[in-house]
A and B are shown apart, each in its own frame.
Chain A
Amino acid sequence: MPESELISASIKKDKAAQQQLFEQNYGALAAIALRYSKNKSQADDLLNKGFSHLFAHLSGYNAQNSKTLQEWLKHEFIVFALHYIKNIRSEYYVASTVRITEPRDNSYDLFFDSEIIDYSQVDFTILVKSLQQLVPAQRLVFNMHVIDGFSLKDISNELETSEQTVKSNLEKGRFNLQKNIEKNIKASKHEQPV
């Protein structure tokens, strides 16, 4: 089925057309949902609600626009994910303001701590897991600015915060992401059976 017919049929709530559109874009949107949410179950919920939102607002897609259908779907899904995460107020505001500090470990393992980590060879699962461990505000800003290419001004408009807050969250997100990657790499190496 051509793209234009697929879109018009999906707008008319044709299940077959919607299923075809779902299957075509599942992989990309599921990956986005996974890195914007804190775990797999939240990612599944975000993905399902995001697809419902996309099918409901599919009439807003203009084929004559410079964006392709997949690019438009990705952009709409990212904006939806942003509002979805932000609207979980119990997580977004509390976790953004409270800094959780781990108890300091005074023991020093020479072989464990002196490992040199090559950050250019980070695995996809470790990277996603490290991203998911960030607090929601830092995760959102890092995803939007570093991966999806939004400007800081656009992010501040979307999140309804100042640009300075966005910069601050971005710096904290970079610092915490590197720490999380380091921790997860070390943990994965030590978990492997000898």
Chain B
Amino acid sequence: MSSPFNYELDERQIRIMLQNAELDYDATAWEQFNATSAHVQPANAIAKTNRFGFGISRQVLVPAFFILVVGGLSALLFSFVNFKKTDNPEPERLLENNTASFVVEESSKQPVQAKSTPVVTVQALKKDSAQVHVSAVPTHTQQALVKQAVVNNPVPVTLVKQELPKTISRQEDHSRKKRRRKQETAEELPSINASSSFNAAANEPEPEIKVN
């Protein structure tokens, strides 16, 4: 399908006509230019100051704003989470000192010798040491008392117990229990009258051995 349009403009003629065309000078043109330039100039100055203050493009501002929002929210959430370990040791039980059964003697320079036989001696007492060697203290209450005494008096202290019951260490107690169980569960084997059988064998005649 051919187009019916024929381009008939003489572009060379148009170029000559328009390229060198000049309008007549208008006397009011300069005044108009002065008025517009004076009006435009303060606006340019304002625009320069605005450009100095807000020279950041939208492509930078919008991602920065979103990063700030997301970061702020995540920081808010992190503030609610406690990452520290919360393994608190068991709270210490405050027990009343039974002063009638225990006599605590402070001996700064000369430690007092133990008087009677069931004596618990704490040799190495340190304030911060977690392992306190108390081998012969039977009950938990007594352990706590010893610890408390150590905390209150960092100097070496000798604990004297006058009438302690028979102390049994845990290990010994445990082994005894085991033995009892073994004794209880022991099987009863049938007894054989060995003496009668031996006598019967002795009465039998010996076989004769033939030698060639």
Contact = CB atoms under 8 A, between A and B. Distances in A.
B94 interface: no
A124 B30 CA distance: 25
A49 B35 CA distance: 11
Contact of B29 (A26, A45, A120): A26
B14 A26 contact: no
Given A119-B9, A181-B9, A48 B33 contact: yes
Contacts, number: 72
B23 A34 contact: yes
Residues of A in contact with B, size category: 20 to 34
Contacts of A30: 22-23, 29
A184 to B, nearest CB: 13
Contacts of B32: 44, 48
Interface string A10-53: 00000000010011001110110011000000001101110110
Binding site secondary structure of chain B: helix
A62 interface: no
B11 interface: yes
A146 interface: yes
A148 interface: yes
B21 interface: yes
Contacts of B37: 48, 51-52
A27 B23 contact: yes
Contacts of A128: 18
A124 B33 contact: no
A31 B15 contact: no
A127 B18 contact: yes
Contacts of B13: 120
Given A23-B30, A119-B8, A146 B14 contact: yes
Binding site secondary structure of chain A: helix
Interface string A149-165: 10000000000000000
Given A48-B32, A146-B15, A31 B5 contact: no
A108 interface: no
Nearest to A118: B8
Interface stretch (A1-9, A86-94, A97-105, A170-178): A170-178
B23 A26 contact: yes
B19 A148 contact: yes
A87 to B, nearest CB: 14
A181 B13 CA distance: 14
Contacts of A31: 18, 21-23
Interface of B: 5, 7-11, 13-15, 17-19, 21-26, 29-30, 32-33, 36-37, 40
